[in-house]
Structure 1
Amino acid sequence: MHANTDTLWINARLATCDAANPAPYGALDGHALWLRNGHIHAVLPQAAALAAFAAQGQIIDAHGAWLTPGLIDCHTHLVYGGNRAAEWEKRLTGVPYQQIAAEGGGIMATVRATRRLDEDELALASLPRLKALMREGVTTVEIKSGYGLTLADELKQLRAAQRLAATLPVEVATTLLAAHALPPEFSADADGYIDHVCAVILPAAAQEGLAEAVDVFCEGVGFSPAQTRRVFDAARAHGLPVKGHVEQLSNLHGAALVAEFGGLSADHIEYLDDGGIAALAASGTVAVLLPGAYYFLRETQKPPVEKLRAAGVAMAVSTDLNPGTSPFASIRLALNQACVLFGLTPEEALLGATRHAAQALGRGATHGRLAAGCVADLLVWQIEHPAEIVYGLGTNPLKQRVFRGVVQHLE
């Protein structure tokens, strides 16, 4: 089957995840999904669709399976070298993180491992992680830099991410996270490094078209709000939207800063306060929940889900896939954790990896919904109810993965 061939999916139950449909999950029964040229051409009552479709393409019988939009993992650090399993083992035996970092562990261990790999090696090392996400139904994934922290190595990470997209049937959104940590070359000179990010790294990434957004780790162990603002100003000057790792370990009012710049998303947000919630609601910035890091670090401060819900802030859910604090290449695990640990409903969790995740990547108009005009990224699930996608782990109810209208083989 080719994407430029009309295809009609029939006898399916649709979880459209479309806000225009007030039913739970945006569910539709008795409707057919008409695909054309890699996009959804129409969602129609099945009898009307069959009459209009006639014999102009392929008809696929879903035999009562549920169809959902493709899943979107909107916050990952998927491209990196090495792993930190030995460091994690030390932490579990009581060795403090400060000691591990002083001995060469922590994020700088990943930076060294990432710098050692060339672009080919980096893409190859990252491939299994991306394939694991795809097996669970991910069709769009965001990949950040942030483990290079030099001009050459940050751009190398972004190029490796783009290479993955050229290799596999998946869409990759690249984000520049050069302001992730202070590299050893700028030891004790955070302002000097931010100067370098704003004047050298960010302009180069923008000029090469390697990043479609800019992120900053705004935190006591990262960069200050003033330094974050400088990076955001530089991003704006180059026409790039912003997002932020904010309020994960403390409240520096980073979310309000992201909202001030009309940012795409504020991520982590465990320490988000009422003012930050109001700012996100006013700007339309998405709150991205990352329960994997909360779980893996054994944190106790939960994001204010009930208040976000009450304020009407869209909540996305993502894996935060990274070697240090969330080494999980499983979007379904993240969705389950969001329900069990943070109190989301299964419907909210699924919307968090479809419609709201699309918004967090600036793709709300074209991704994350089964609706006319959206890309034809969809999943076929052998389930009785959409909650099953979030409910049970260890088995995979995904029957087929469709990317741009073309059915993909699950590896």
Structure 2
Amino acid sequence: MSRADRLITDCRLATMAEGGSAYGAIEDGALLVRDGRIVWAGARGDLPAHEAATIDRLGGRWVTPGLVDCHTHLVFGGDRSGEFEQRLGGATYEEIARAGGGIVSSVAATRAASEDALHASAVARLAGLKATGVTTVEIKSGYGLDQDSELKMLRVARRIGREAGVRVRTSYLGLHAVPPEWKTDRGRYVDLAVDQILPAAHAEGLVDAVDAYCEPIAFSTEEVARLFDRAKALGLPVKLHADQLSDGGGAALAARYGALSADHVEHTNAAGVQAMAAAGVVAVLLPGAWLMLRETVLPPIDPFRRHGVAMAVATDCNPGTSPVASMTAAINLACVQFRLTPEEALAGATRIAARALGLEAEVGTLEAGKAADLAVWDIERPAELAYWLGKPLLAKRMVAGVWDV
């Protein structure tokens, strides 16, 4: 007879495991949890003999894996609502960036903010993600762009992971923009970001992955390759903001380095899609940014499907181009704008998003051996998670076997 801390029963499971029914659905399901992990998941009628210290009856609610937001810029100072007004007035994102706005305006506010202030504002934004079922979140640096400020951001991200009831994966995004003080000598800034800031952040244990922004308004493939070479030398996985505003070869570069993911990818060409497929690179779709920038070029969804490129969905929560703090909103937008099916979008926010963070063995499905990270929903069918826009649907969350409403 097996022992468990908790039996979760009287529920319907969307396990999101591959190879079975739609959503991996089990209509009358149960879960056994011990020491923060799932030790059994299946139909209640097949429940093995067990002793459970606590029994949770969920009244027929649906249970999914906790959602995984695999691309955010959650930690930053200030906001850019003024730029939002400018874009509504006709200014483009590139025009605002070249005039000194965009990312560099967030840099000034982030540098000026204390760690406590950055933590408080990030936790306030995180509340929206948690209320929409998120139990794992990726947080990037990239609004500091000097050593002290980049490490400050990453320390805040680590603190959030310790204190805020979510799992956190950090990404060093030193090649996000050229800071104002290096505008006339970008090569020196690349040297600093690659040779000094990244090793310092890694030495302090603050980096889980390395990211970059590969665009004509940001950094070239050659500059990004230098960063990725250093990341690989340090044993760190890489990911990339790729082909968002133009076809700059970002997806192919990500594939060449075996990246966890290539993100945005609206302008990725056929060769880039095939390279991603061959290398197993996840395409992270960011429909919030696509909406806010009023883009018209869609990611190559059908080519991704044909070539077997896995598609994740994330909020891209950031102050300039995607002030989205709702994971279910991102799921809805992925369906409405990009024509993902509700099952594809939910897989993209669970199983595939976990893969985009290198966490597929830990989270993303309801299977024995995975962390007991769950979201419990007041819905009648899983498609409602893609259908409703703005309606509260979450009943409660569990992280590592502990309920957190």
- Length-normalised TM-score, structure 2: 0.97
Match of 2:81 in 1: 85
Deviation at 1:120, TM superposition (A): 1.2
- Is the aligned partner of 1:119 residue 2:115? yes
Deviation at 1:104, TM superposition (A): 4.4
Deviation at 1:105, TM superposition (A): 2.5
SS at match of 2:365: coil
Instruction: Write the mapping of 1:2-401 to structure 2, written as runs, cut at 5 A.
Output: 6-19=5-18, 21-49=19-47, 52-53=49-50, 55-95=51-91, 100-101=96-97, 104-401=100-397
SS at match of 1:292: helix
- 2:8–2:58: 8 Å Cα contact kept in structure 1? yes
SS at match of 1:76: coil
Structure 2: distance between partners of 1:126 and 1:68 = 25
Moved over 4 A (4+): 95-104
- 2:26–2:43: 8 Å Cα contact kept in structure 1? no
Report % sequence identity: 51
Aligned-partner residue type, residue 346 of structure 1: P
Deviation at 1:97, TM superposition (A): 5.0
Structure 2: distance between partners of 1:95 and 1:221 = 15
Deviation at 1:90, TM superposition (A): 2.3
Structure 2: distance between partners of 1:261 and 1:101 = 28
Aligned-partner residue type, residue 334 of structure 1: A
Alpha-carbon RMSD across the aligned residues, in angstroms, is 1.5
Deviations 1:203-222 (A, max 9, x none): 01111110100001011111
- 2:4–2:32: 8 Å Cα contact kept in structure 1? no
Q: Which runs of 5+ in 2 are unaligned?
A: none
Structure 1: distance between partners of 2:93 and 2:304 = 32
Structure 2: distance between partners of 1:289 and 1:356 = 11
Deviation at 1:30, TM superposition (A): 2.9
Aligned residues: 403
Structure 1: distance between partners of 2:241 and 2:166 = 25
Deviation at 1:5, TM superposition (A): 5.8
Deviation at 1:18, TM superposition (A): 0.7
SS at match of 1:323: coil
Deviation at 1:22, TM superposition (A): 2.0
User: Bigger shift: 246-255 or 342-351?
Assistant: 246-255
Structure 2: distance between partners of 1:260 and 1:105 = 32
Structure 1: distance between partners of 2:160 and 2:374 = 20
Aligned-partner residue type, residue 106 of structure 1: G
Q: 1:187 to 1:327 in 2, by over 3 A?
A: same
Structure 1: distance between partners of 2:4 and 2:30 = 16
Deviations 1:117-163 (A, max 9, x none): 01111111211101111011100000000000001000000001111
User: Bigger shift: 21-30 or 386-395?
Assistant: 21-30
Deviations 1:200-255 (A, max 9, x none): 01101111110100001011111001111000000001110000000101111111
Deviation at 1:100, TM superposition (A): 4.3
Deviation at 1:95, TM superposition (A): 4.4
Structure 1: distance between partners of 2:243 and 2:309 = 16
Deviation at 1:321, TM superposition (A): 0.5
SS at match of 1:133: helix
Structure 2: distance between partners of 1:340 and 1:358 = 23
Deviations 1:378-409 (A, max 9, x none): 11111110000111122211111111111112
Q: 1:359 to 1:99 in 2, by over 3 A?
A: closer
Structure 2: distance between partners of 1:85 and 1:37 = 44
